[in-house]
Each structure stands twice: as structure tokens, then as C-alpha cells.
Amino acid sequence: SIGEDNLIEMDNPDTGGEDFSFFAREVPSCFMFLGCKSDKNHDTCILHNSKFNCDEDCIKIGIKAMVNIVIDYFK
């Protein structure tokens, strides 16, 4: 578990030019943002920047979240 204090539900998320909603009309879907900022990359985690440095520990958390979403869907 990542802990409730690490989960942020957004009322009006800004997805920019994302076309995901067109797919979501056709099949059950889930859209989430996976944060990658941590103490390891505090000043270098700015998206669309040449100095961007993702804390790759977030990838494991993202995979676990996606697997749990699928498991919950099929219950």
C-alpha cells in the first residue's frame, strides 16, 4: 500500500490535449497520474525539461496500482 496520504483525488484534473476520454466512452477505463517526484530528484523533476529526472521507484508503485485496478474490476 502506498498509504492514503499519498493518494490525491482531483475534482477537475487538467489532462491537456489527452484523447483518452474517447477510448473511455467505448470501454471501461481508468485515468491516473503517477507522480515521480521524491527526495532523490527534488530539483530535477520538472516535466518537459531537459533536466527531468524521474525517480524510477515510482514505476513499481504504478504497476501495483494498475494491477489492483484490474483485479478490482474483475471481482
- What are the residue ranges spanned by the domains of the chain? 4-74
pLDDT of the residue at 63:
92
Q: What is the pTM of this model?
A: 0.65
Q: What is the average pLDDT across 53-73?
A: 89
pLDDT of the residue at 44:
84
pLDDT of the residue at 1:
61
Each residue's pLDDT tens digit, 20-59: 888 888 988 878 888 888 888 888 878 788 888 888 988 9
pLDDT of the residue at 16:
65
**Grid cell at residue 51:** 533536466
CA distance 68 to 3: 14
Burial level of 67, CB count in 10 A (0-12/13-18/19+)?
Answer: exposed
Cβ neighbours of residue 31 closer than 8 Å, sequence gap 6 or more: 13, 15, 18, 20, 24
CA distance 8 to 39: 19
